[in-house]
Structure 1
Amino acid sequence: MKRITQIIALCFILLLFGVQCTFFQKEKEVPYWENPTLLDLDEITKRGYIRAIVDNSSTSYYIYRGRRMGYEFELLRNLAANLGVRLHLIVKSDIEEAFYLLNKGQADIIAMNLEQTEQRKLYAKFTLPLGEMSTVLIQRKQGASVTDFSDLNQKSVHIPQGSIYKDQLNHFNQDSTFHINILEIPESREELISKVVKGEIDYTVADKDLALVNATYYNDLNVGVEISEKSPVSWVVRTNAPLLESAINDWIFKRTKSGYLATLYAKYFLNSKNSYYRSNSAFSSLGGNKISAYDDIIKKAADKLGWDWRLLASLVYKESGFDAEATSYAGASGLLQLMPVTLDRFGVADPNDPYQSLMGGVNFLEYLDKFWRERIPESNERIKFILASYNIGHGHVEDAWRLTLKYGRNPQHWDQVSHFLKLKTDPEYYRDPIVKSGYAKGHVAVTYVEDILILYNSYRVLIEP
């Protein structure tokens, strides 16, 4: 009996202190925005790339004929070049998630043209404005159209989750006799606009500029009812990244003064005919799901390789821009830009035949895969070695692999081997006895691999498999 009493007492103590510990732990939990990751411009520059969150839309970021396009994309590309770093994009439509990723150090900038609010100022620091935006209601012309915001009483409006539109619509809900049913959906603005067009929902809200661009695609869209007047919109960075904020603000000031922002704005927002054509093309990630006219043969070739066809498409775009008749100054030709000696070696009789030239390149890639398979067993790492070898020759990459081994680093990791590949312009390294192929501009091959993988990531996110 005494032992049972002791056990009960012990359980009671553990339960009591366990609950108290859990309680105190919860009390100590800090909201993610109050302690953002410490990561400023100096670290970004040292890392070599900046990560930006964008929306997939006809004005922000999309793929057209294999090319990355969009207002935000071109701005960010210019900014990255100005900062001397590469650009990595993260596609998100959920703004709340975007703020979370920013503060957790998984992104460096949110490029979504956000309106300032007191709540958002807690989450991030706003840059100088890049322009002004107003908000409009989007509905179909057919049927009983809303002509004034007062007509929205007791009606449902679907909006993207975490957007400013909720606050704007709630402004009208302050009157006890008036109520708008606001439904937040984890979908992008253009996905919701498409649902309005299809009749799946009756109303959504979007920035006026985006609404007008979409109204050129869809004749049945009514975008005439204004929900909010024009207000400044900006990008945001972490609250503890003053160097990055200052650099971006300096860039915005100079690009505004030079007229660059106005020119780019006109390209995407004022030239409605081009916007309509790009967005509705079968070769657009918005209007269709094709990357190029050669998707079918690229898919067959990728099956032979065991690759994701979008990865092979990224390589083809990098080599020829999907131009089957492309010829380089050095004499390389075809979709995968093979040199004459390589064409002969891998059985290409007609380099101008898209299928023949593509399969010749695939045969070469298979050869490179076999060359690296034993040394680099992990397939995702091996692909980087294959791509670098395709660009600069496997002899030079093998030299870098040997140097990595010699200096006690891991020769199965591309990040470490690429370090030595870039050093092949330095006599101390390319004259090393273990180096068989001599001098090489290894940094060019490293950039080549990065370019293809960055493009592949965009294809993977925006193009269905």
Structure 2
Amino acid sequence: MRKSFTSFIFILLLLTFGVQCTFLEKERNASIWENPVDLDLDQIIKRGYIRAVVDNSSTSYYIYRGRRMGYEFELLRNLASSLGVRLHLIVKSDIEEAYVLLNKGKADIIAMNLEMSSERKKYGNFSSPLGEVSTVLVQRKSGQMINTVDQLKDQVIHIPQGAIYKSQICSLSQDSTFSVGIMEVREGREQLISKVLEKKIDYTVVDKDLALVNATYNNELDVSLEISEQSPVAWAVRPNAPNLENAINSWIAKRKKSGYFATLYSKYFLNSKNSYYRSNSAFSSLGGNKISAYDDIIKTAAESLGWDWRLLASLVYKESAFNPEATSYAGATGLLQLMPVTLERFGVDDPNDPYQSLMGGVNFLRYLDKFWRERIPESNERIKFILASYNIGHGHVEDAWKLTMKYGKNPQYWEHVSHFLKLKTDPEYYRDPIVRSGYAKGHIAVNYVDDILILYNSYRVLVEP
């Protein structure tokens, strides 16, 4: 009776969700596949940043003690540096959605350890292989263990939406009577591994590298059954971006030859002890929801400032990496790296006291907010002016604001003002009669703002409010 009931449930699941052994079937007729956005390397370099899709996992991209980490992340950061652009990340677990973003021009690379397949080549070009990986079944040792592929008959396997695992599982079918239920969900690979451990699902399928990393610190996991043999994995780019594809391939060849790939692979895949601590720490976006040991006082301080606490945390990380005893070469100290004169001005008696130094910085930020409030009424834009002022001084930012008006641009938009702030290294601009603060390395302040906002975006996506 129990077996009949189980079979009934399985058939019901198949009828409800189906086993569709094609990739991106729902999007097949979309015009973006025939006419992807025309955006290649020269345009990416001109705008100054490259956008890549990654997933939040211990081998791809995550936050640990406020710092951005991950195998794919470090590779992408190195690539962006070699291209002379900044790196913007888009965190997704849905591979189908990643391909849509790619072809709409909202992303430039899909860096999700993609197995190369003829079906996927219809929707994007692959880079040179970054490595090889096989696929394994993830299950509990205490559950209904699957020891051979034949035993997968009539079982239900949960996988991420759009993953190559679907076609791999479909290819296991030996005859018309061999059926496997595939449940596609909008969750990442590591989330599904956690669900297996929590007994919310019985099986999932992931890359062997990722499975082994998780199995090293979860003895309950069994990852011994291979679903597919080793095959090349790569990144995906738009099919009409040949210059970007060539640049990536050239970079891959050089970094492999230098040993960079091997060193990075060892860091994330072979050092299981470090992987365990990073993934299970309360200060990891994978194992907890804390950014630092000072989250509570940062939240209190941010509330008094009217900011998202994760934005203030991004500023603190940029300034001191959450080290209250940090001291710069210029003598700035504390969590928000204030100079002695500023500490005194904003009421800080003990610069080594985390709360005092933090509130001193917040009082300075409040002062800057008041300075810019009437000139920049839109709060999201004003924050950029405040951050730049915190870094380089509001006098230099005010000079750029005046130059923006003089040259007929909009002084309420940071994009326009930052252009003139960067020009403050040019005598034609810093000697202008309306400029009061003189020469400045404005590009450093512009990059400073970008760094904080990029980090904030990661905190906002990966850490709960």
TM-score (norm 2): 0.93
Counterparts of 1:416 and 1:62 in 2: how far apart (Å)? 32
Matching residue of 1:351:
351
Which sits farther off after the overlay, 416-425 or 166-175? 166-175
The Cα of 1:143 is off from its aligned counterpart by: 3.1
d(CA) in 2 for partners of 1:278 and 1:455?
Answer: 18
| Partners of 1:135 and 1:208 within 8 A in 2 | yes
Match of 2:447?
447
- Matching of residue 285 in structure 1 with residue 285 in structure 2: yes
Question: What stretches of structure 2 of length at least 5 have no aligned partner?
Answer: 1-28
Structure 2 residue identity aligned to 1:113: N
Measure the CA separation in 2 of the matches of 1:113 and 1:60: 8
| 2:392 paired residue number | 392
Contact conserved, 1:217 with 1:280, CA < 8 A, in 2?
no
Q: Could you say what secondary structure the match of 1:142 adopts?
A: coil
Shift of 1:144: 2.8
1:375 & 1:261 partners in 2: Cα distance? Answer: 49
Matches within 5 A, 1:71-82: 71-82=71-82
Match of 2:166 in 1: 166
Partner of 1:48: 48
Alpha-carbon distance between aligned partners in 1 of 2:289 and 2:435, rounded to the nearest angstrom: 45
Per the TM alignment, residue 116 of structure 1 is displaced from its structure 2 partner at its CA by 1.5
User: Does residue 105 in structure 1 map to residue 114 in structure 2?
Assistant: no
Residue 171 and residue 74 in structure 1: after superposition, are their counterparts in 2 closer, same or farther (change >3 A)? same
Percent identity over the alignment is 78
| Letter paired with 2:266 | A
The 3-state SS of whatever aligns with 1:235 is strand
Structure-2 separation of matches of 1:329 and 1:252? 37
Q: Is the 8 A contact 2:51 2:89 kept in 1?
A: yes
CA distance in structure 1 between the aligned counterparts of 2:143 and 2:59, rounded to whole angstroms: 29
CA contact (8 A) 1:343 1:351 kept: yes
One-letter identity of the residue aligned with 2:378: E
Taking the aligned partners of 1:310 and 1:204, their CA distance within structure 2 comes to 33
Partner residue, 1:371: 371
Give how far 1:31 is off: 3.0
CA–CA distance in structure 1, aligned partners of residues 298 and 339 of structure 2: 20
Larger-gyration structure (1/2) = 1
Q: Counterpart of 2:417 in 1: which secondary structure?
A: helix
Amino acid at match of 1:183: M
How many positions carry a matched residue from both structures? 437
In the alignment, residue 249 of structure 2 is paired with which amino acid? N
Instruction: Tell me, in whole angstroms, the C-alpha distance in 1 between the residues paired with 2:392 and 2:154.
Output: 65
TM-score of the superposed pair, with normalisation by structure 1: 0.93
Once the two structures are superposed, residues 235-283 of structure 1 have per-residue CA deviations (whole angstroms, 9 ceiling, x without a partner) of 0100000000000000001111111101100100010010001000000
Residues 147-296 of structure 1: matches in 2 within 5 Å?
Answer: 147-296=147-296
SS in 2 for 1:32: helix
SS at match of 2:307: coil
Task: Report if the CA contact (8 A) 2:134-2:208 is conserved.
Answer: yes
- Identify the residue that residue 11 of structure 1 maps to in structure 2: none
CA RMSD of aligned residues (A): 0.7
Kept in 1, the 8 Å contact 2:143–2:202? The answer is: no
Shift of 1:332: 0.5
| Deviation sequence 1:36-67 (CA, Å, 0-9, x none) | 00000000000000000001000000000000
Shift of 1:30: 4.8
What does 1:296-335 correspond to in 2, within 5 Å? Answer: 296-335=296-335
Between the aligned partners of 1:161 and 1:458, the Cα distance in structure 2 is 22
**Partner in structure 1 of residue 116 of structure 2:** 116
Corresponding letter in the other structure for 1:253 = A
Contact 1:153-1:179 at 8 Å conserved across structures: yes
